[in-house]
Each structure stands twice: as C-alpha cells, then as structure tokens.
Amino acid sequence: MLRLIQINLCFAKDTKKSYLCTRNSNRMSGPKFISSRLFSLSKGSLSSTVMRLAVTSVALAITVMIISLAVVVGFKNQIRDKVVGFVAPIHIQSLDLNESYEEAPFVVDERLKEALNSTEGIRHYQLVADKAGMLKTDEEIQGVVMKGVGSDYDWSYFENCLTEGKVPVYADGERSTEVLVSKSVANKMLLKVGDDVRVWFVDEDMQARGRKFIVKGIFQTGLSDFDERYLFCDIDQIRRLNHWDEDETGMVEVWLDDINAMDEVNEKLYFKIPGSLASYTARESNPQIFDWLELLDTNVWLILVLMFLVAGITVISMLLIIIIEKTSTIGLLKAMGADNGFVRKVFMRRSLRVLLIGMVIGNIIGVGFCLLQQATGFIHLNPETYYLSAVPVELHPITIVMLNIAVFALWMLMLLIPTSIINRIRPAKAMRFE
C-alpha cells in the first residue's frame, strides 16, 4: 500500500518517468518521499513563502541567542578578572568596625602562615597596606589612596595594563620613592613618567606630612572606580607614616590556582586563621560590581526565552498554514490508506528541514560574528561606563551545542500542537476543500 501511494503521487506523464519515480521511492521512506514531492522552498505558493519566513525567524533567533550568550559570558568573565586582578580573590584583615581606607595593623605570625600554606588552592599571598592622602601639584589637587606593596607583590596583572613606563621594583629594608599611578590620575594631574609628585597625609595628631615620590609607570585597568583612587607605593612608606613595625601589615592578599573556587577556598581559610582576623572574597568586598554582573543573567535569560517563543510561534504558524493549504492532499492520503501517524510524519519532516536550515544559517552568522568581534573588536564601548573598550565575546563549543540541542528539542515538541489538527481531517470533506 505504501509503495502504491508513492507511485501514485509521482504524477508521471510517461512510462519512463513513472519507472524513475518508482525506483527513487524505493530508496527513501514513504513520509520522506511524499514530503519531498509536496513541498519546495523554490515554489511560489503561500506555503513556500511562509517556510522562508520561518527559516529567517529561526536563523535570527539562533543568531541572537549565540551572540547574547557569548557577550554576557565574555563580559562577566572579563569584568570579574579585572576586579579580582586589582583586589585579589581573597584578602585577610583585622576583624574590626573600621570603615576607612586605612586598615588596623596586624602581624603575619606562624599560625597565619601555617593556615595560608596548608589551605589547598592557594597559590601565593602578599602583604599590602592602604593609606588615604592628597596628591598635589602646582596646579592640581586630587584625593587618592596609597596602596603599599612589597617585594612579594605579584605585578603580572598590572604589567599587562601599563601604558607608559615600568612597574616599580621594591626591595626589603629599602624605602623606595617610586610610585605607579593610573592614567586617569596622570591626566588630571598632568603627570608623566619621571615627574616628581608630592602626597600629603594626616597623622594621628592631625598634623599634615608630605612625601615626595617619582612616577615610575602609568597603568589603565578600565575600572574607573579603582583607577581614579589608587596609587601604588612601597609598603615601607606606609609603615613609616603609620608608625608600624617592620613585620606589621594592613592586609594579606591571597591568590588562588582557580579564581572560580574563591568561595570554597575562603570558607576553608576562614576557620583556620586567628579569631582576630577575617577573610573576605572579592565578591564580598565589591558587591556592587558583582551584583550588577548577576543582573546580566536575568537579561540573557529574557532574551533567550523571547527569541525561542518568537521563532517557535513562527514555525507553528508555518505548519498550520501548510496543513490548511494541503488539506485536500491530506484527505487524499487518508483516502488511499495512510493513517494519521503517517501523515503527521510527512509534515513533521518538512518542519524538521525548515528548523535545520534556519539553525545552520543562524549558527554560521552567530559564530561568525563572535569570531569577527574577537579578532577585530570593531564594536566599541565607553570604558568609563562599561569598564571595557570593546564588546567582549567568549565562545564555548559545549554551550553552543547544548543550546542548539535544547531549542531544537523544544521546538519539535511545540510542532506537535499543530499536527494534532491532522487527526480531525476527514477524507470525504477534505478532498472537496480548496
């Protein structure tokens, strides 16, 4: 019966053509053969126009989904890396109610060293101390925070952010006057590498004291909140200004093998350090930035759902229009013995082809756009607002594959809704439908 249906639907006009149709039909399944004869994207019928619109809608949806995911993942990771690179994944300081930029001093004793050395995941730790001051030149004045660092400080992050000069080199027991300033501060204060600059501090007796420094290098991280505030100097300068001992520090910055594990490592470290100290992650010390990044997840989920629904509704509409247009054909198939399942397969195969064509086109455009942006960065951003100078993209093949599988499966489930109409079509009435 199946072969009879295939042969009759070839509508061949001569014996030779009928033989070719019959031979070709033996090489493919019944629904596939009939689907290939009933539909074509090149025809000028209403269904072909609707199929083109459906292909366009699916391609656009997949393109937007891929770009949205790549941009959000890239944006979150790059901003996180910038913040963590500046403040370290974890920092330890005295447990007090001090809300100023100047920390209470403490000594890195053997117990603290043992806790740091025994905690799995810690790669390196370094001593730092902050002190607020006033940067002054002959014409300008600017409030700053001097971040004192020592010979153990890891400059790898700032070496990649240098715009001029070099990072300072500090040695234990020798107070250096070299400082590293941001490009934002240098522009405001009209400074360049090699210039002398004086910073004024207020001590406990409310007496102003000035210190002269030399600009060794200029950096730019793109994090305006940090760039406009911090200067880097020798930690021994901070100790002398605060009347601290040589083994005292204001903070211990902890670097990890994997920054994604900073919450887990911090939880282990917190219970090992002395009770007078506390450890904080970069997320806890800068909640405003990380909370802002979390909001991006909501935006991307909203985009994904909207694109999925728009394309899904378009494909459902396409299938409904095709079913209505081919009602008489459905009646003919049923009259010749085809059951509902067979007819549904005919229309589902066409819908499957539309989805696959649209998804292939969408993947090519979406991935191609992301690769082009990665290579050229042709879409720019205002770094003062977004912390980045170009739109970041980060492609993960597994994420793209999972996205395609998920949306394809859901769209196929949505297509079961319009195909249920086929069950209600009666051959006697459908064959008279025009």
From first to last of the 434 residues of the chain, give the pLDDT tens digit: 334 344 344 433 333 343 334 444 444 566 666 665 555 544 556 667 888 888 999 999 999 999 999 999 999 999 999 999 999 999 999 988 666 778 899 999 999 999 999 999 999 999 999 999 999 888 888 999 999 999 999 999 999 999 999 999 999 888 999 999 999 999 999 999 999 999 999 877 777 888 999 999 999 998 888 999 999 999 999 999 998 998 899 999 999 999 999 999 999 999 999 989 999 999 999 998 888 888 888 889 999 999 999 999 998 888 888 887 777 777 777 777 777 778 778 878 878 888 999 999 999 999 999 999 999 999 998 887 888 889 999 999 999 999 999 999 999 888 888 877 877 777 656 555 55
Per-residue pLDDT at 147: 95
Per-residue pLDDT at 30: 60
The torsion defined by the Cα of 94, 285, 122 and 242, in degrees rounded to 10, comes to -40
SS3 label, residue 149? strand
Taking alpha carbons only, the member of 24, 19, 20, 22 closest to residue 5 is: 22
Per-residue pLDDT at 35: 61
Tokens of 361: 């086109």
415: left (phi over 0), alpha (psi -120 to 50) or beta: alpha
Per-residue pLDDT at 68: 93
Per-residue pLDDT at 363: 97
92 within 8 A of 278, measured Cβ to Cβ: yes
Tokens of 138: 């002959």
CA 182/CA 172 separation, integer angstroms: 24
344 within 8 A of 31, measured Cβ to Cβ: no
Give the helix/strand (H/E) hosting 19. helix 15-25
CA 357/CA 58 separation, integer angstroms: 9
